[in-house]
């Protein structure tokens, strides 16, 4: 995967997290309660949302890293198989390819 694709995944995760935070904030602001209670609850929810977004971003980066490694390995194996066939070291009909 390219760094650009990784950047898009990060943007999507951040947008999702910000949307969730905005939704929670809207719900709390519409709920009955004193201003200090609402602010306290809003701060707690915002902190929870940030922590969850951080975990999700780390998981997303790890997923992208694993996928990149798998793709790199697959491409390298494909190149090696092609080279063996091209060099005549392996018959193109063998299951090894």
pLDDT at residue 97, as a whole number: 46
Name every residue whose Cβ is closer than 8 Å to that of residue 68 and which is 6 or more positions away in sequence. Answer: 1
**Token digits for 33?**
């309660």
pLDDT at residue 54, as a whole number: 87
pLDDT at residue 17, as a whole number: 84
The domain spans of the chain are: 3-86
Left (φ > 0), alpha (ψ -120 to 50) or beta: where does 16 sit?
A: alpha
| Closest of 43, 22, 42 to residue 31, by C-alpha | 42
Q: pLDDT tens string for the chain (97 positions)?
A: 456 666 677 788 888 888 888 887 777 677 676 778 877 887 888 888 888 888 888 888 889 899 999 999 999 999 999 998 888 876 655 555 4
> Are the C-beta atoms of 49 and 26 separated by less than 8 Å?
no
pTM higher than 0.75, yes or no? no
């Amino acid at each position: 995967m390219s760094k650009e694709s990784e950047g898009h995944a990060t943007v999507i995760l951040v947008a999702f997290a910000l949307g969730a935070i905005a939704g929670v904030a809207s719900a709390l602001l519409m709920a009955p309660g004193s201003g200090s209670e609402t602010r306290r609850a809003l701060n707690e929810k915002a902190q929870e949302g940030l922590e969850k977004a951080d975990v999700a971003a780390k998981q997303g980066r790890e997923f992208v890293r694993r996928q990149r490694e798998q793709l790199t390995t697959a491409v390298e194996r494909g190149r090696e198989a092609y080279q063996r066939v091209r060099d005549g070291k392996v018959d193109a009909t063998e299951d090894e390819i």
